[in-house]
Amino acid sequence: MAGLTVLIVEDEILIAMELEDLLTDHGATCLDPVGSIGKALTTIEGHRVDMAFLDVRLRGESIDPVADRLAAAGTPFLFTTSYGVDALPPAHRHRPMIAKPYGDSTIIRAFAEHCPN
- Nearest residue to 16 (alpha-carbon basis) of 1, 4, 31, 2: 31
Residue 95's pLDDT band, with cuts at 50, 70 and 90, is very high
Residue 16's pLDDT band, with cuts at 50, 70 and 90, is very high
Whole-structure pTM value: 0.94
Average pLDDT of the residues in 16-26: 96
Backbone phi, psi, residue 52, to 5°:
-140, 150
pLDDT score for 110 = 92
pLDDT score for 3 = 85
pLDDT score for 83 = 87
Q: Does residue 76 surpass a pLDDT of 80?
A: yes
* Alpha-carbon gap, residue 9 to 32, rounded angstroms: 9
Q: How many helices (H) and strands (E) are present in the chain, helices listed first?
A: 4, 7
**Pairing label, strands 61-62, 57-58:** antiparallel
